[in-house]
């Protein structure tokens, strides 16, 4: 065991060391001379080193040394000419039992092709890549400097099932997700569903920094936005949700299944009422009284009269890098109480802010396992009646013939058999009183 751990640590150290080296040029196998290197991909990203300073001031997130490795790994990912990424952001670190995942959020320069295959009848189709819950593409690596793996797009089925189960990550993307209800995928799909839920609920921005186009629904940055003061940014109404809400259906945009045309004499089917969600760019102070799935912190409880009422709970908490009054350059932190480990750091001197998540992917809510399916009734062993053709009457029983009563199906178990009576004392024994012994 210790030898395995040492070998894993040694391999991780070697891969991390490669991040600090200049990549060696490829050699032409025919001429033996260095080949012309492909120019690196141009991409946009955040100032990870500056973000690490804010995390360190608040005592949240990862250390400065680990964040420097994140910056180098992000550089390698973004400059890869084959991936063609437009933007890269460090989402956070998902913790597992045997290995962890460093998660990177990205957008593509070219839209990904639509997945092959059709959605089964009766199922909700997933949103296309680059839209809704699949707006961003996520890459993960288990070791800084190790290979990157692209996670699959999220589907409504994986989102809905992930909300019903609670399970630790193992660190193996190809591992089965053993849970009830049965999860429709592997750990890579489960990880992607958890990331989608957390990102939708916890990625925030200063209120007023972006505006929503009512016609197109696009989010545009306000050029005249002025950063808020530190004493103002500790208030929750100064922060807003940056990503759209994922509805209970598992999509950001509600999907209404087509209603089949009724046959003659049948009434048309009723239209399904679309699910509603909190508005994009809504402020965080509304989450305390909201019961929106994955966003709100309100719970249903019973009052003294036994009626169910909705009680508000704190959804966010603020903190500062220093409680000493008069500090010139404080750092403000807003932490999620619904998803412990998610936070945003804000530098009042520059107006820069950064979102991050470090945790196991568990929601701070009572977990109630899904109940098993209903037990089927006992099978009734009854004689099958003879088939009767249409227009004919069933034959009447002859005189004296008893008609067997068809028992109804019952969910009760059959009665236990009565125990056999125990033999009386001396009965059946050799040489008992009143009996002559055998010769």
DSSP 8-state symbol, 238: G
User: Do the bridges between strand 44-45 and strand 85-94 make them parallel or antiparallel, or are there none, so unpaired?
Assistant: parallel
Tell me the pLDDT band of 10, cut-offs 50, 70 and 90.
Answer: confident
pLDDT at 403 (0 to 100): 57
Residue 357 CA to residue 191 CA, distance in Å, equals 14
pLDDT at residue 82 is higher than 60: yes
Tokens matching residue 287: 């989450």
In the chain, the N- to C-terminal Cα span, in Å, equals 76
Contact assessment for residue 94 and residue 359, using Cβ atoms and an 8 Å cutoff: yes
Q: Looking at residue 1, what is its pLDDT? A: 47
The residue with greater pLDDT, 171 or 423, is: 171
The pLDDT assigned to 422 comes to: 75
What's the CA dihedral at 216, 218, 224, 228 to 10 degrees? Answer: 140
> What's the CA gap between 50 and 343, in Å, rounded?
16
Beta bridge partners of 221: 210
Instruction: Kindly tell me the burial class for residue 239, based on how many C-beta atoms sit within 10 Å of its own C-beta (0-12, 13-18, 19 or more).
Output: buried
Yes or no: say if 109 and 87 are a contact pair by the CB < 8 Å rule.
no
* Rounded Cα gap, residues 400 and 408, in angstroms: 24
Helix 48-58 × helix 64-79 angle, to 10°: 150
Model pLDDT, residue 146:
92
The contacts of residue 36 (CB under 8 Å, 6+ apart) are none
Residue 286 has what DSSP assignment? G
Q: Please give the average per-residue pLDDT across 190-201, as a whole number.
A: 97
The pLDDT confidence band at residue 207, using thresholds 50, 70 and 90, is very high
Q: Return the DSSP state at 295.
A: T
pLDDT of residue 185: 95
Strand partners, 329: none
Least confident of 119-133, 152-166, 238-252: 119-133
Residue 330 above 90 pLDDT?
Answer: yes
Across the chain, mean pLDDT equals 86
Radius of gyration of the chain (CA): 33
Which of 85-99, 179-193, 310-324 has the least mean pLDDT? 310-324
Angle, vertex CA 151, rays to CA 150 and CA 154, nearest 5? 145
Nearest CA to 43 out of 94, 83, 3 is that of 83
Instruction: Report which of 245, 229, 211 is spatially closest to residue 338, judged by C-alpha positions.
Output: 245
Is a pLDDT exceeding 50 seen at residue 198? Answer: yes
Would you state the pLDDT for residue 27? 81
Which 3 state secondary structure label does DSSP give 98? coil
The average pLDDT across 338-359 equals 96
Place of tokens 């004296």: 400
Q: Is the pLDDT of residue 148 over 90?
A: yes
Beta-strand pair 85-94/101-108: antiparallel
List pLDDT tens digits, range 223-281: 889 999 999 999 999 999 999 999 999 999 999 888 877 777 777 777 888 898 999 99
Q: Which residues pair with 355 in a beta bridge?
A: 344
Task: Give dist(CA 9, CA 3) in Å, integer.
Answer: 10
* pLDDT band, very low/low/confident/very high, at 30 (cuts 50, 70, 90): confident
Burial (CB count <10 Å: 0-12, 13-18, 19+), residue 373: exposed
Q: Where are the alpha helices (DSSP H) in 134-289?
A: 156-162, 187-202, 230-233
Rounded Cα–Cα distance for residues 270 and 259 (Å): 8
48 has pLDDT over 80:
yes
The larger pLDDT score, comparing residue 430 to residue 237, is at 237
Determine which helix (DSSP H) or strand (DSSP E) holds 309, and give its type and residue range: strand 308-311
The pLDDT assigned to 419 comes to: 79
pLDDT at residue 68, rounded to an integer: 95
Q: How far is the C-alpha of 165 from the C-alpha of 368, rounded, in Å? A: 9
Does position 295 have pLDDT exceeding 90, yes or no?
Answer: yes
How many residues can be counted in the chain?
439
Specify the residue for token string 């591992």. 175
The enclosing H or E element of 94 equals: strand 85-94
Of residues 193, 147, 137, 148, the one with CA closest to residue 169 = 193
Which of 105-119, 194-208, 399-413, 417-431 has the largest mean confidence?
A: 194-208
> In the predicted model, what is the mean pLDDT of residues 55-71?
95
Calpha distance 171→142 (Å, rounded):
8
């Amino acid at each position: 065991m210790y030898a395995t751990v040492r070998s894993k640590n040694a391999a991780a150290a070697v891969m991390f060391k490669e991040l600090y080296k200049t990549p060696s040029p490829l050699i032409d196998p025919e001429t033996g001379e260095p080949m012309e290197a492909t120019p690196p991909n141009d991409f946009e990203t955040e100032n990870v080193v500056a973000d690490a300073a804010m995390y360190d001031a608040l005592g949240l997130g990862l250390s400065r040394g680990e964040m420097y490795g994140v910056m180098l790994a992000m550089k390698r990912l973004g400059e890869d000419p084959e991936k063609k990424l437009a933007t890269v952001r460090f989402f956070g670190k998902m913790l597992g039992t045997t290995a962890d995942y460093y998660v990177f959020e990205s957008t593509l320069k070219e839209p990904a092709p639509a997945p092959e295959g059709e959605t089964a009848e009766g199922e909700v189709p997933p949103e296309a890549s680059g839209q809704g819950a699949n707006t961003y593409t996520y890459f993960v690596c288990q070791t800084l400097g190790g290979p990157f793996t692209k996670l699959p797009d999220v589907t409504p089925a994986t989102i809905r099932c992930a909300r019903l189960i609670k399970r630790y990550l193992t660190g193996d993307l190809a591992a089965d997700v053993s849970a009830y209800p049965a999860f429709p995928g592997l750990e890579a799909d489960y990880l992607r569903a958890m990331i989608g839920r957390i990102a939708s609920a916890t990625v925030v921005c200063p209120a007023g920094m972006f505006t929503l186009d009512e016609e197109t629904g696009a989010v545009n940055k306000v050029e005249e936005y002025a950063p808020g003061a530190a004493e103002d940014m500790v208030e929750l109404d100064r922060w807003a949700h940056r990503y759209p809400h994922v509805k209970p259906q598992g999509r950001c945009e509600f999907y209404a299944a087509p209603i089949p045309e009724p046959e003659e004499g049948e009434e048309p089917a009723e239209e399904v009422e679309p699910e509603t969600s909190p508005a994009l760019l809504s402020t965080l102070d509304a989450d305390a009284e909201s019961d929106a799935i994955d966003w709100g912190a309100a719970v249903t409880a019973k009052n003294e009269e036994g009626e169910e009422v909705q009680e508000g709970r704190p959804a966010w908490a603020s903190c500062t890098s220093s409680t000493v009054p008069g500090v010139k350059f404080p750092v403000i932190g807003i932490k999620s109480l619904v998803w412990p480990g998610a936070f945003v750091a804000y530098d009042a001197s520059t107006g820069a802010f950064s979102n991050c998540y470090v945790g196991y992917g568990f929601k701070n809510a009572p977990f109630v396992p899904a109940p098993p399916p209903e037990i089927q009734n006992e099978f009734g062993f009854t004689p099958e009646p003879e088939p009767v053709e249409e227009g004919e009457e069933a034959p009447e029983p002859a005189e004296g013939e008893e008609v067997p009563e068809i028992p109804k199906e019952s969910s009760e178990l059959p009665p236990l058999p009565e125990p056999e009576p125990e033999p009386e004392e001396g009965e059946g024994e050799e040489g008992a009183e009143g009996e002559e012994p055998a010769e």
